[in-house]
C-alpha cells in the first residue's frame, strides 16, 4: 500500500509526493466515486515548457469526483529541479529526463527521478498524456502525437484524434521518452507539443486543458461528449539536426508548406560564412523550428512533417 492506493473514493486535491530523496513533486489527484481506470497526465518533464504545467494547474475545477469514474493523477512539474532552474535538462547531472525512462533507481538524480515516476505512476496507469512544448530553444506547431499506425483500430491514434488539435504527428519511437516507454509496455499513450520559445501560450493552456478533458471522456473516465470530427492533418517525420554550431537563420516560418529541396535554414560560422544549409527532405509542413538563435551541432534544427494517409 502507498499513497496512491490509499486515496479514498471522492478525493480531490494536491499531494506532495516525495518521488526520490532529492525530488518532491506536487501532484493533483482526483479519485471518482466510481471505480475505473487510472489516467496519468504529465507535464514539465522538460523544465522550460509552460503550457502543460499551466493547463494542469487549471484542471481541478473541471474534475468533480462525483462525475469521475476512476482516477486522474496530474503531475504538472514532473522534473522539479529543471523547472526551478528553467532548463530543459536536469541542472545537476545534465541529463534529459525525456530520454531516461524507465530510469534506474540507483543512478543519478535524473535516472532516479525517471525510475520513481515510472515505477510509482506509469506502471499503474492505463492511459498517459505527456504534455510538452518547444521550451526555450524550439517552437512547435500545436500537434498531438501518437504511436503506431494512423488507423482507427489503433487506440493511441484514436486518443490523439480525440485530443482535438488540428494536426497529428506519428511520433518517432524514441527510446527513453516517457510516452514511448509507456506505449511499449502496452499503455495507451500520447504526447503533445504546443508553441514554445520560452513563452506561455494562453491558447495552449486552453487547448491542452480541453484536450485532456476530451481524452478523459473518450476513455470513459468522464461522461461522453461529442468528439471533434473535423478534418485533421496527420504527419510523419523527425527533426533534422544541426551539423555545425553558430547562428541559426530560418528561411521558413512555422506552418509553412514547403517543397522538397527548398532551403529551410542556414547556420552561420564566426565570420558569417554559411556553415550549413538545411534543405527540406520532402514536400511537407514545417512542424517545428529552432527558436533560440545560437545553435550547436546535434541540436534540433527543423522538423518537416510529411502528410500521411489515414485509415479512419
Provide the binding-site residues for Zn ion, judged by CB under 5 A.
Answer: 46, 132
84 C-beta neighbours (distance < 10 Å), count: 11
Give me the least distance between CB of 195 and Zn ion, in Å please. Answer: 12
Which of 14, 298, 287 shows the shortest CA–CA distance to 170?
A: 287
Q: Which DSSP symbol is given to 20? A: E
Which of 225, 221, 224, 214 shows the shortest CA–CA distance to 33?
A: 221
Residue closer to Zn ion by CB (options 99, 184) is 99
Give the three-class secondary structure for 310: coil
User: CA 292, CA 294: separation in Å to the nearest integer?
Assistant: 6
Is the separation of the CB atoms in 34 and 69 below 8 Å? yes
Give me the least distance between CB of 163 and Zn ion, in Å please. Answer: 16
Residue closer to Zn ion by CB (options 62, 239) is 239
Give me the least distance between CB of 267 and Zn ion, in Å please. Answer: 22
Residue closer to Zn ion by CB (options 39, 177) is 177
User: CA 221, CA 71: separation in Å to the nearest integer?
Assistant: 8
Residue closer to Zn ion by CB (options 132, 161) is 132
Residue closer to Zn ion by CB (options 31, 132) is 132
Residue closer to Zn ion by CB (options 46, 90) is 46
Give me the least distance between CB of 130 and Zn ion, in Å please. Answer: 9
Q: Checking DSSP bridges between strand 127-131 and strand 257-258, what pairing results, if any? A: unpaired
Give me the least distance between CB of 193 and Zn ion, in Å please. Answer: 7
Residue closer to Zn ion by CB (options 46, 290) is 46
| Region for residue 70 given its phi and psi (left: phi exceeds 0; alpha: psi -120 to 50; beta: otherwise) | left
Which of 115, 122, 98 shows the shortest CA–CA distance to 41?
A: 122
Give me the least distance between CB of 205 and Zn ion, in Å please. Answer: 16
User: CA 41, CA 60: separation in Å to the nearest integer?
Assistant: 13
CA 193, 240, 303: angle at the middle one, nearest 5? 35
User: CA 7, CA 1: separation in Å to the nearest integer?
Assistant: 10
Give me the least distance between CB of 272 and Zn ion, in Å please. Answer: 32
User: CA 180, CA 182: separation in Å to the nearest integer?
Assistant: 5
Residue closer to Zn ion by CB (options 49, 111) is 49
> Residue of minimal CB distance from Zn ion?
132
User: CA 55, CA 76: separation in Å to the nearest integer?
Assistant: 8
Give me the least distance between CB of 261 and Zn ion, in Å please. Answer: 30
Amino acid at each position: 500500500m502507498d499513497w496512491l492506493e490509499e486515496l479514498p473514493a471522492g478525493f480531490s486535491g494536491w499531494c506532495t509526493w516525495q518521488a526520490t530523496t532529492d525530488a518532491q513533486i506536487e501532484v493533483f489527484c482526483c479519485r471518482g466515486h466510481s471505480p475505473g481506470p487510472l489516467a496519468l497526465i504529465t507535464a514539465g518533464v522538460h523544465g522550460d515548457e509552460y503550457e502543460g504545467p499551466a493547463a494542469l494547474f487549471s484542471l481541478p475545477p473541471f474534475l468533480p469526483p462525483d462525475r469521475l469514474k476512476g482516477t486522474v493523477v496530474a503531475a504538472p512539474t514532473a522534473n522539479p529541479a529543471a523547472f526551478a532552474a528553467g532548463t530543459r535538462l536536469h541542472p545537476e547531472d545534465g541529463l534529459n529526463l525525456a530520454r531516461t525512462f524507465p530510469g534506474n533507481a540507483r543512478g543519478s538524480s535524473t535516472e532516479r527521478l525517471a525510475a520513481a515516476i515510472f515505477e510509482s505512476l506509469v506502471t499503474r496507469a492505463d492511459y498517459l498524456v505527456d504534455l510538452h512544448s518547444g521550451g526555450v530553444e524550439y517552437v512547435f506547431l500545436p500537434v498531438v502525437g501518437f504511436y503506431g499506425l494512423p488507423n482507427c483500430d489503433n487506440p493511441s491514434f484514436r486518443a490523439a484524434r480525440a485530443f482535438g488539435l488540428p494536426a497529428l504527428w506519428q511520433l518517432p519511437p524514441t527510446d527513453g521518452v516517457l510516452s514511448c516507454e509507456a506505449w511499449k509496455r502496452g499503455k495507451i499513450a500520447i504526447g503533445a507539443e504546443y508553441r514554445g520559445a520560452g513563452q506561455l501560450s494562453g491558447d495552449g493552456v486552453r487547448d491542452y486543458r480541453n484536450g485532456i478533458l476530451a481524452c478523459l471522456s473518450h476513455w470513459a473516465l468522464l461522461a461522453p461528449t461529442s468528439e471533434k470530427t473535423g478534418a485533421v492533418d496527420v504527419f510523419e517525420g523527425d527533426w533534422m539536426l544541426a551539423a555545425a554550431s553558430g547562428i541559426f537563420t530560418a528561411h521558413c516560418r512555422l506552418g509553412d508548406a514547403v517543397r522538397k529541396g527548398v532551403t529551410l535554414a542556414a547556420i552561420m560560422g564566426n565570420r558569417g560564412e554559411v556553415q550549413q544549409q538545411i534543405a527540406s527532405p520532402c514536400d511537407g509542413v514545417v512542424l517545428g523550428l529552432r527558436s533560440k538563435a545560437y545553435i550547436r551541432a546535434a541540436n534540433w534544427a527543423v522538423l518537416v512533417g510529411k502528410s500521411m494517409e489515414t485509415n479512419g
